[in-house]
Structure 1
Amino acid sequence: MDNTDMFPNTTRELAEKKAALAPQNIEAWRNFSKTVFQAGALDEKTKQLIAVAVAHVTQCPYCIRAHTPQAMRKGASKEEIMEAIWVASEMRAGAAYAHATLAMEEMEKHS
C-alpha cells in the first residue's frame, strides 16, 4: 500500500520551504528539540525510546521513521524498541478502557 498521498515523503527542499515561512518559529522549535533530547536526568537512549513509544501513540509516521533509527544510534536494541512500543500499546488500550467509565456514566444517565 502506498501512503504517499496521505503521508508525502519529506525532502530537504520541503523542509526549507516550511522553515522560510516561519523562520523564528522553526529556530525556536529546533532549539527546543535539541534541548529536550540532550542527556539530563534521562540518558539520550531512554529519551529516544520514549519518543518512539509516543510516536506510536500519536500515530505519527514521520516521528516513527525519525526516532526509531535515532534510538538505535543511541544504543537501543530492536528488543528494547519493540518493548517500548508494547508499553505504548498498553497505555493507549488502557486509556480507551479507562474512558469507558465516561460511557458508563452516560449510559446510567439515559437508562
Structure 2
Amino acid sequence: MNDALYPKPTRSLAEKRKALAPDAEAAFRTFSETVFRDGALSAKTKQLVAIAVAHVTQCPYCIQGHTKEARRRGASAEEIMEAIWVAAEMRAGAAYAHSALALTALGEGGEND
C-alpha cells in the first residue's frame, strides 16, 4: 500500500481513533463482530462478500484485511479471485445499466434518438 496516500495502520492510530470516540468505536467493533459471525452465511462466505464490496468501494484497508481474514477462514485464492471478478462485473454492469440516465437526458434535450 502506498504509505504516502494511505497511512499504514498502526496501534497509535487505532488508539487515537478509539480515544476520540470510544463509544462509537466499541459499537462498531460489536457490530462488525456480529455481522461477520457464522449465521445463515458462513463466516468464510461473509469475508468473500466483504472482499467483493471492498473492491467496489476501493478501500485498500478493507481489501487487505478481508483477504487475510478470508484466508484464515479457509478461502482459496481461486475463491477470492472469483469474488473479485463478481465485483468487477457488478461495477461494470451498473455503469452499463445507468446509461439509461444519459440516454433519457439526451431524449429530454430534444435531440433525435
Give the match for residue 48 of structure 1. Answer: 47
> What does 1:16-95 correspond to in 2, within 5 Å?
16-95=15-94
* Alpha-carbon RMSD: 0.8
> Scaled by the length of structure 1, what TM-score is found?
0.97
**Deviation readout 1:16-67 (Å, 9 max, x if unpaired):** 0011000000000000000000000000100000000000000000000100
For structure 1, the residue ranges without an aligned partner over 5 or more in a row are: none
**Deviation readout 1:2-27 (Å, 9 max, x if unpaired):** 72221110101111001100000000
Give the match for residue 5 of structure 1. Answer: 4
Q: Percent identity?
A: 63
Aligned residues between the structures: 110
For structure 2, the residue ranges without an aligned partner over 5 or more in a row are: none
Give the match for residue 102 of structure 2. Answer: 103
For the pair shown, which has the larger CA radius of gyration, 1 or 2?
2
**Deviation readout 1:62-89 (Å, 9 max, x if unpaired):** 0001000100110100000000000000
Moved over 2 A (4+): none
SS in 2 for 1:63: helix
> Scaled by the length of structure 2, what TM-score is found?
0.95
Alpha-carbon distance in 2 for matches of 1:44, 1:18: 26
